[in-house]
Amino acid sequence: MADIMTTVGIWLAAFFTLSIFSFLYKDNPFYKFAEQVFVGLSAAYWLVYTIYNILIPNLFDKLFTDFAGNWVLLIPMLLGIMMLLRMFTKLQWLSRYPLALMVGTSAAMSMLLSFKSDFVEQMAATMINPFKFASAVDVVGSIMVIAGTLCGVFFFYFSKKQEGFYKVPSKIGIWFLMVSFGASFGYTVMARISLLIGRLDFLLRDWLHIIK
Amino acid sequence: MKRNLPLIVAFVSGVVILIAGFIPRDPFPRIESTLIDWFMIISSFAILLGQASLLRMNVIRVAEKAPNWQYYLAGIISFGLMLAFGLLWGMEKTPGLLGQGQGIVSQLGVKPFDYLFENAFIPLSSTMFSLLAFYIASAAYRAFIIRNFESNLLMLTAVIVMLGRTSFAPMLTGWIPDSLGWLRLPELTNFIMQYPNTAAQRAILISAALGIVGASLRIILGIERSYLGGGK
Amino acid sequence: MKMPERSVVERRIVFLLLVLAVALPIIFPLGLKTQSTPLTEQVYDLVNSLPAGVPVIISFDYDPSTITELQPMAEAVIEHAWKKGHKIIATAMWPQGPQVAEMAFKDVQARMEKQNPSVKKHIYGEDFINLGYKPGGLVTIQGMGRSMEAIFPTDTSGLKYAEIPMLKPVRTLKDIRYVISLSAGDPGLRDWIMTANGKFNVPVAGGTTAVSAPGFLPYVNDQKQLHGLMGGLKAAAEYELLLGYEGTASLGMNPQSVAHILILAFILFGNIRAWKKRKADKLAQEARHG
């Protein structure tokens, strides 16, 4: 029975794959059906995992097994319920409290952490001695890192109009950004093609058995 | 009052986290730990809210027989099935309300939740995103036109990187002597990624970090209030 | 029957050519070989440098939409860590993470047994553990820095943290010897870099989809914010090469390479067409005013 169900499963997977691919020809009922099934499965998946991975072990288990030691968890539970009240227009204002707590906490935390890792450490990483390298390629590259970073940051300075001499580092910054966007485009093509490879591999190997 | 009190909550929680970042002495680390534990639990309810809103919207569309209501019904049914399977028999090692479901596992080979995950969710999710490959191919043919020096630079870099990250790259430029080895496609691609790309991305990171600091301060100080939504 | 517009026909031809460019090399592999790059070698060296018995975290921060790129990386890193005797703790910042983690552990064990039937069978709870999904990104990771047990009171099967043998020496994130985050977006690698490395000085390495890879390169620096980066299917193929086997990523490089050439051809033809059109428009304008 398990073997039959495995085969049924592969055909189900192939059906959904081809339904989504049919959109490339034009929008059609199979695609619409597959799209909504995906939405439903995705939502339910997330809900089940939220219940089993967070609400039960981090909240309900603790409250039921040791209420005296964990009664304070009633507060986030109450805040969570207030969050759910966002669905009702008259009670929406109650959801602002848990939102404010979350937003305040995450804003402060990301401010501290990103200032250190994305500002201080990045500035330190730019303060290199380009001439310490033996190879000319690395020397030129390191000079490019320093110049490119400074000019790139200059480009993003919008508080003063960039005219006259100030246009020069901005222009150089744009060139470095264009090189970076070109590299990002190349990598994006790589990523998108990889996704297609996976699906065609499934269809040819697991479904049609053209490849062993 | 309905807007001012939440702003005070955001201010207090933000300031406590900021102080705890610099003063690792009681009570700040304990308050920080508590806030972190609460954050995870409240996030879970936010996820619940999202799913509940989605379900409500779909039910309304089906009840009002909106255009394409049959598809929304299919969405609701698939949601219900996946939820029921997950709650009753759990997934992988996690037991459900009816335990590990050995009986049903012997029929299906895996739990029903995992069966739907492997044979419906994975194909749907992967295929949905694999459509992007076709769109990028179509865009490459119609939209990536060289117009000026900057777009030339972008396209030249893209060509080098796209060729350099293939298995053809060593063959195409293997004939270049070692003295000019940096011109070989794989080495040239590594150079572009390691130096000019890093420089530009670093500039973006530094500028974004300053933006994050500005935006976070505005939120903590109550200047930015859009997260509270409209109304009084 | 009404004929479709020329642009629609062109688009369908482009799609068909792309399918052929990807499908044919899958069916008839070209036998192309890949070369490793310094970024992937750094990740390899990090895993290789540590002795047996150390606890490590592999964070599965992706969903099935990027499984083609990230799952081969996950399997390669798991195999390497197991061969080195590291104790793997699987976590996830994305809800589908725990499930793809289970798939990866099963597939790696099966492949290792196929290669060598007498290979050690890795035991759940002693050699690896799946602690499941937690939301919150950097806030949650910060919590792990204070107490792992507070964030993960149980594993995915319901076993209490204190009852799991391999977790006894792991009280906080600082007891972890490295974190490898396989990340498709946010939350993911950036949060691990900012928190695990930035605040707790835990070595972090990463695998990302090719789309995100260029944005993480500034973190590969002398400050060792990132100990190497695997970006995309090619990096997964490189890691397989370093481990000495040809997996799905290595086989995927055949169609990947052919498709890249096709995309470049599309760009070339598109530009030639645009140039011809500009020239024709210019001539027409000159004729009108001439």
Residue C15 pLDDT > 90: yes
pLDDT for residue C3:
65
Using CB atoms within 10 A of its CB, is residue A5 exposed (0-12), middle (13-18) or buried (19+)?
middle
Residue C91 pLDDT > 70: yes
pLDDT for residue B144:
84
CB contact under 8 A, A13 and B120: yes
Find which of A19, A23, A24, A37 to mutate to test the B interface (most B CBs within 10 Å of its CB).
A37
Computed on alpha carbons and rounded to an integer, the radius of gyration of chain B in Å comes to 27
Instruction: Measure Cα distances from B12 to A75, A104, B8, B170 in Å.
Output: 16, 8, 6, 58
CB contact under 8 A, C270 and B142: yes
Say yes or no: A121 contacts chain C, CB-CB below 8 A: yes
Task: Answer whether residue C224 is part of any domain.
Answer: yes
pLDDT for residue C78:
97
C-alpha A147/C-alpha A176 separation (Å) is 9
CB contact under 8 A, A182 and B155: yes
The pLDDT of B129-157, averaged and rounded, is 90
Here the CATH number for the domain that contains residue C218 is 3.40.50
The pLDDT of B51-71, averaged and rounded, is 92
C-alpha C89/C-alpha C128 separation (Å) is 6
CB contact under 8 A, C218 and A110: no
Give the A:B interface size as CB pairs under 8 Å. 403
pLDDT for residue B214:
94
Q: What is the pLDDT of residues B169-228, one digit of tens each?
A: 888 888 888 888 888 999 999 999 999 999 999 999 999 999 999 999 999 999 988 888
Which of chain C's residues have a Cβ under 8 Å away from the Cβ of B43?
Answer: 135-136
Residue B103 pLDDT > 90: no
CB contact under 8 A, C143 and B40: yes
C-alpha A152/C-alpha B136 separation (Å) is 28
From the list A190, A113, A21, A2, the residue with the least C-alpha distance to C19 is A21
pLDDT for residue C1:
59
pLDDT for residue A193:
94
pLDDT for residue C87:
97
pLDDT for residue B167:
84
- Helix (H/G/I), strand (E/B), else coil: C92: strand
For tokens 């929680």, what's the residue? B13
The pLDDT of C240-261, averaged and rounded, is 93
Nearest-Cα residue of chain C relative to residue A25: C12
The pLDDT of C75-96, averaged and rounded, is 96
pLDDT for residue B172:
86
The pLDDT of C117-138, averaged and rounded, is 92
Encoded tokens for B157: 């870099």
Residue extents of the structural domains in chain A: 128-212
What is the domain range of residue C143?
Answer: 38-245
Using CB atoms within 10 A of its CB, is residue C126 exposed (0-12), middle (13-18) or buried (19+)?
exposed
Residue C144 pLDDT > 80: yes
pLDDT for residue B41:
93
- Helix (H/G/I), strand (E/B), else coil: B113: helix
pLDDT for residue A77:
95
State the total domains in chain B: 1
Residue B134 pLDDT > 90: yes
Q: Is beta strand C87-92 parallel, antiparallel or unpaired with respect to C179-183?
A: unpaired
Sign of the torsion formed by the C-alpha atoms of C41, C42, C48 and C54: negative
Sign of the torsion formed by the C-alpha atoms of A162, A165, A167 and A173: negative
Task: Answer whether residue C121 is part of any domain.
Answer: yes
Q: What one-character-per-residue DSSP string does C6-73 give?
A: HHHHHHHHHHHHHHHHHHHHHHS---------HHHHHHHHHHHTS-TT-EEEEEEE--GGGHHHHHHH
Percent pLDDT > 70 in chain C is 98
pLDDT for residue C290:
66
What is the domain range of residue B187?
Answer: 144-224
C-alpha B74/C-alpha B61 separation (Å) is 12
The pLDDT of C134-151, averaged and rounded, is 92
Which of chain C's residues have a Cβ under 8 Å away from the Cβ of A125?
Answer: 218, 221-223, 225
C-alpha B165/C-alpha C230 separation (Å) is 13
Find which of C39, C66, C68, C250 to mutate to test the A interface (most A CBs within 10 Å of its CB).
C68
Q: What is the mean pLDDT of chain C?
A: 93
Which residue ranges in chain A fall short of pLDDT 70? none
Residue C2 pLDDT > 70: no
Q: What is the pLDDT of residues C168-220, one digit of tens each?
A: 999 999 999 999 999 999 999 999 999 999 999 999 999 999 999 999 999 99
Give the A:C interface size as CB pairs under 8 Å. 143
Q: Position C259: which residue type?
A: A
Residue B232 pLDDT > 60: no
- Confidence class of residue B106 from pLDDT cuts 50, 70 and 90? confident
Instruction: Measure the CA dihedral A14/A16/A19/A20, to 10°.
Output: -110
Computed on alpha carbons and rounded to an integer, the radius of gyration of chain C in Å comes to 23
C-alpha B158/C-alpha A69 separation (Å) is 59
Residue B79 pLDDT > 60: yes
Q: Is beta strand C229-231 parallel, antiparallel or unpaired with respect to C128-133?
A: unpaired
- How near does any CA of chain C get to the CA of B166, in Å? 5
| Residues C193 and C204: beta-carbon distance below 8 Å | yes
State the total domains in chain C: 1
